[in-house]
Amino acid sequence: MVAAGISISWGVALERGGGLGVMGFPGIYFGTRCLIQGDDPYDVRQLQSVYDAAGFSAPASVALRQSANLYVNLPATFLLVAPFAVLPLAAAQTLWLALLIGSFLLASFLMWSLAEAYSPPVALLLSFIMLANCEIIFSGGNTAGLVVSLCVISVWCFLQERHIAAGIVCLAVGLAVKPHDAGLIWLYFILADRLQRGRALKALGLSLFLGLTATLWVTQVAPHWVPELRSNLATISGPGGINEPGPTSIGVDSPDMIIDLQTVVSIFADDPKIYNTTTYVVCAALFAAWSVAVLRFSRSPQNAWFALVSGAALSMLVTYHRSYDAKLLLLAIPACATLWARRGVVAWTSLLLTTAGIVFTADIPLAVLLRSTRNLHSPSASFAWNVLTAVLTRPAPLILFAIVVFYLAVSVRQARSSAVGSHDRLTGTVS
């Protein structure tokens, strides 16, 4: 409660400080209002006219201007925000914030309650760090905060065999709004077993229904929205864009920095062809290993957590994600507590890696880190200096990579140990 109080009070204070916020609720609010009144939210000029009518002048900074005028959310977001968009901005923002805080606190409580059964100190430590560093989610109101919460809640429902219908709805909304956050969570349940596969397919069906409904609405109002969306994505992902992963990008010069693997590779080669290709090759290898592990090895409740944590961390690496997307590491709290209860080297490694993953994707530590290391990068630096720069300025992707490998290895090791134990017991019984 203390940790949540820190984030809520600080986040609300930042939210009331004025401005549109980077990729926050006002952006999706005015984008949805634009669509409701019959205009094209993916068209910069038509969206700007909505801001002008509401009395918002063009933001001064490039980041704010791009996040406000270049709408890049999928059509399903309109359905989610439409009930809020018919209200005045102040009332809509208050209700959205209440939904965001409520869902995230519920997700955090569910993960803490599971972890507490194995190790109360570990559950408390990790939950406190996570909850005390949600200022950006609560102040900006980005849909990522809600999607992360819904994904975590759906995992709890499926693995605990409780409130299955609610879990299906939560996963479906997450898939429809931010598939790059919920995608590997959904895929785990597809690969897990027949029972979970059925639930995941129901979630996919509902997600497709939401997506198609929203797409028909958008297409009727804005028939050219697809090329406009592509153009907007190209602008914010290209040189000077807020989502560019390059070493001097404004997207990595803020506490809600981009955390995908491209941001590390770009320090050594600031060329999209190189850092994108390298990232995709590395992540493809990790994805293949993860898929084989999920398909072949034991699907015990504990192994499910290990596979889900590994998948969640992998999804952060392969493509555009920011630090607030990494709140999916809530899933690592029960996994870490489970391992800590066993003691030994694996327990300590789990605690150190999980704590580091949560800390170095947390709002306050990232703000401190950013101020301390802002001028380290040099285009003409040696390889050794670039390695040091990557470690000091981009620790999140490196730690997420380590988490993927570690929890994947733990999952495989436990499955093999269980198989050997079962074989020994069977042999003894036969003898």
pLDDT number for residue 298: 59
**Per-10-residue mean pLDDT, the chain, length 431:** 89 66 75 94 92 77 75 94 93 92 95 95 95 88 92 96 96 96 95 92 97 96 94 87 84 83 92 93 95 80 90 94 93 95 92 95 88 73 85 92 95 68 44 43
pLDDT number for residue 430: 45
pLDDT number for residue 420: 47
The residue whose two tokens read 């201007």 is 65
* Cα 101 to Cα 91: distance, rounded to the nearest angstrom: 15
pLDDT number for residue 228: 94
What one-character-per-residue DSSP string does 32-99 give? Answer: HHHHHTT--TTSHHHHHHHHHHHTPPPPSSHHHHHHHHS----THHHHHHHHHHTS-HHHHHHHHHHH
**Are the beta carbons of 114 and 107 closer than 8 angstroms?**
no
* Cα 242 to Cα 70: distance, rounded to the nearest angstrom: 11
pLDDT number for residue 348: 95
pLDDT number for residue 139: 84
pTM greater than 0.75:
yes
* Cα 224 to Cα 127: distance, rounded to the nearest angstrom: 45
pLDDT number for residue 16: 66
pLDDT number for residue 291: 92
